Amino acid sequence: MAKFDLKDLKLDGVIDDLRSQASKRLDDVIGEGRSQARRAGGGHDDGALFSAIVFGMLAGALFGAVVARLLTTSTGTDARRNLSHRMD
């Protein structure tokens, strides 16, 4: 009876391929599970969250610019002139 060795069957490539397919499928299942958990918990997807953050930053910058413009008592030229007089 001949000695049987798994290395002689050259299954390394097949095993590596199966391992990579299993890893990819596991990543897909985990990602889908996270999405389902977010939806079940009333959460938002990543794209909506990013959009909300960007919109909030832009709205805050616009609001800050409007408030600064309304509360400024002098023009930029006058402010620079007053600052240079104070520095002298």
pLDDT of residue 85: 87
| Cβ atoms of 74 and 82 closer than 8 Å | yes
Averages of pLDDT over runs of 10 residues in the chain (88 residues) are: 60 80 91 82 71 92 92 84 86
**Claim to verify: residue 48 and residue 88 sit in the same structural domain:** yes
**Claim to verify: residue 76 and residue 50 sit in the same structural domain:** yes
Query: Has residue 69 been placed in a domain?
Result: yes
**Claim to verify: residue 51 and residue 83 sit in the same structural domain:** yes
**Claim to verify: residue 81 and residue 48 sit in the same structural domain:** yes
pLDDT of residue 62: 96
**Tally of structural domains, the chain:** 2
- The residue segments making up the domain with residue 33 are 10-43
**Claim to verify: residue 50 and residue 36 sit in the same structural domain:** no
pLDDT of residue 42: 72
pLDDT of residue 31: 87
pLDDT of residue 48: 74
What is the rounded distance in angstroms from the CA atom of residue 61 to the CA atom of residue 72? 16
pLDDT of residue 9: 64
| Cβ atoms of 56 and 49 closer than 8 Å | no
Report the predicted TM-score, pTM, of the whole model to 2 decimal places. Answer: 0.40
